[in-house]
């Protein structure tokens, strides 16, 4: 019987199986790209998630539909992207939602490792500005 947190007796047989990260991300459409986070309204979590992943060059690798930050409810999308075709689509969808809904909302961009304070309010920038900023400042793996 293998120890719960220790090495297995026959761990040598798995050495060619690849790293745990490779095993977990196997089949992921995006295994490299710029990493960043978006935070916004929890009401639109699913829509934003679908918009980001509609681009085959982007993936939400972690998301929370409802979390709290300094007492406010927010949604979180951690994104890895090689391409940014989803950004103009997000802005178009956002404009439509604000025509339909009586409440204005925004998205904030966070660049690792500083995830405490936003690097940018997307409302104040164009999709091209946001893409250029991400490419210039976000870590890439």
**CA 105 – CA 103 distance, rounded (Å):** 6
pLDDT over threshold 90, residue 88: yes
DSSP string, the chain: ---SSS--TTGGGGGGG--HHHHHHTT-S-SSSEEEEEEE-GGGHHHHHHHHHTSTTEEEEEEEEEEEETTEEEEEEEEEES--THHHHHHHHHHHHHHHSSS----EEEBTTB-SS-SEEGGGS-HHHHHHHHHHHS-B-
pTM of this prediction?
Answer: 0.78
Give the model confidence (pLDDT) of 12-37 as tens digits: 444 445 555 455 555 555 578 999 99
The predicted structure's pLDDT at residue 18: 57
What does the pLDDT average to over 85-109?
95
Residue with tokens 């509609």: 54
Grade residue 69 by pLDDT with cuts at 50, 70 and 90. Answer: confident
How would you list the strands of the sheet with 34-40, edge to edge? 58-69, 72-81, 34-40, 108-110, 120-121
Domain ranges of the chain: 33-137
More confident residue, 70 or 17: 70
Proportion of the chain above pLDDT 90, given as a percent: 70
pLDDT over threshold 70, residue 123: yes
Q: Distance of CA 123 to CAs 41, 47, 95, 98, 120, Å?
A: 13, 18, 10, 12, 9
The predicted structure's pLDDT at residue 8: 52
**CA 82 – CA 105 distance, rounded (Å):** 26
Give the model confidence (pLDDT) of 51-66 as tens digits: 999 999 999 999 999 9
Give domain 33-137's CATH architecture.
2-Layer Sandwich (3.30)
The predicted structure's pLDDT at residue 102: 86
């Amino acid at each position: 019987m293998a120890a719960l947190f220790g090495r297995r007796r026959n761990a040598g047989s798995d050495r060619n199986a690849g790293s745990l990260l490779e095993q977990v991300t196997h089949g992921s459409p995006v295994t490299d790209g710029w990493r960043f986070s978006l935070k916004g309204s929890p009401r639109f979590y699913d829509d934003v998630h679908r918009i980001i992943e509609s681009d085959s060059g982007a993936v939400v690798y972690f998301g929370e539909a409802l979390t709290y930050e300094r007492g406010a409810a927010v949604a979180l999308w951690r994104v890895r992207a090689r391409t940014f075709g989803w950004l103009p689509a997000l802005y178009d969808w956002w404009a439509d939602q604000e025509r339909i809904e009586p409440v204005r909302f925004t998205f904030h961009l966070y660049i690792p490792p500083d995830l405490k304070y936003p690097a940018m309010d997307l409302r104040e920038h164009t999709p091209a500005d946001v893409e250029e900023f991400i490419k210039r400042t976000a870590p890439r793996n």
